[in-house]
Amino acid sequence: MRKNIVAGNWKMNMTYQDGLALVSEITNMVADETLGANVEVVIAPPAPFLHSIGKLLAEGGKIHLGAQNCHQKESGAFTGEVSAKQLQSVGVEYVILGHSERRQYFHEDDELLSQKLKAVLAAGLKPIFCIGESLETREADETFDFLATQLKNGLFHLSNEEFAQVVIAYEPIWAIGTGKTATSQQAQEVHAFIREQIAGAYDAEAALNTTILYGGSANAQNARELFGQPDVDGGLIGGASLKSRDFTEIIKSF
């Protein structure tokens, strides 16, 4: 049975002090809540805050720690980089990979992402692997071909055992930070397509067991409708994860 997940991707936002305050508000708000059946919450703060925020989350016991990126090598002379093993050593469980911002601004391609995926899996961490089309691709009616290629090149080189650790996030680029959410029908259509592709590359069981998140202007108002779709198993939340009340409302939207 696949998990439902709400993951907050803070991106390059928040000072350490603001981040601590936000996390304690969120942990207080969810402390008394019975989270929906099978719901897991993840917070992915900027790298320098991982250790202390991880400790705060561990005390509360309900929220898991995620990182926004990692380097593909295990260690060595890579100034400024952080390895999956280092992330694991401070309590990280999930690593976001292939976010469109990393693909666009840091030129991460399928080859590099496949190395990062291997590194994350080798460290015993779970990747949240992002895919998503641009507005241009959608308007050219090429969304499904584009996503099929991203999945094939980016993910489907993994073994069955490796793939079982992967969470997929569908993040249409045109919906990220724009306030323009995919409709629940658009999200459902793509999520069902992703599941079909998984069934083709692996098998029906792998397709059923994979958590597929939606990301892109998801918020407290639209989360219930989105999460109500049969193939939408939660969200990867940007802007709305920076406000405790909004994020908590989203967590309660299953």
33: annotated active-site residue:
no
With contacts defined by CB under 6 A, name the span among 15-23, 119-127, 170-178, 182-190 that binds ligand 13P: 170-178
Q: Is 168 left (phi over 0), alpha (psi -120 to 50) or beta?
A: beta
Smallest distance, ligand 13P to C-beta of residue 173, A: 9
| CB-based contact 229:23 (threshold 8 Å) | no
DSSP 3-state of 99: coil
Closer CB to ligand 13P, residue 85 or residue 222?
Answer: 222
DSSP 3-state of 86: helix
Q: Which of 64, 71, 99, 191 is catalytic?
A: 99
Angle at the Cα of 53 from the Cα atoms of 235 and 112, rounded to 5 degrees: 60
99: annotated active-site residue:
yes
With contacts defined by CB under 6 A, name the span among 25-33, 114-122, 171-179, 199-207 that binds ligand 13P: 171-179
Pattern 109-148, ligand 13P, x by CB under 6 A:
----------------------------------------
Smallest distance, ligand 13P to C-beta of residue 158, A: 21
Please tell me the distance from the alpha carbon of residue 213 to that of residue 232, in angstroms, as a whole number. 6
Q: Binding residue for ligand 13P (CB under 6 A) from 23, 218, 223, 226?
A: 218
27 lies in the binding site for ligand 13P (CB under 6 A):
no
Pattern 180-199, ligand 13P, x by CB under 6 A:
--------------------
| Positions 228 through 247 that interact with ligand 13P (CB under 6 A) | 236-240
Q: How many CB atoms lie within 10 A of CB 47?
A: 17
Count of positions (residues) in the chain: 254
Q: Binding residue for ligand 13P (CB under 6 A) from 4, 5, 6, 9?
A: 9
36 contacts: CB under 8 Å, gap ≥ 6: 4, 252, 254
The letter for the amino acid at 162 is E
- Placement of tokens 């958590």 in the chain: 211
| DSSP track, 1-39 | -PPEEEEEE-TT---HHHHHHHHHHHHHHHHT--PPTTE
With contacts defined by CB under 6 A, name the span among 80-88, 157-165, 186-194, 210-218 that binds ligand 13P: 210-218
Q: Binding residue for ligand 13P (CB under 6 A) from 108, 133, 171, 246?
A: 171
32 contacts: CB under 8 Å, gap ≥ 6: none
Q: Which residues are annotated as a binding site?
A: 9-11, 177, 217, 238-239
Q: Which residues are annotated as a binding site for substrate?
A: 9-11, 177, 217, 238-239
Q: Which residues bind ligand 13P (CB under 6 A)?
A: 9, 99, 171, 176-177, 215-218, 236-240
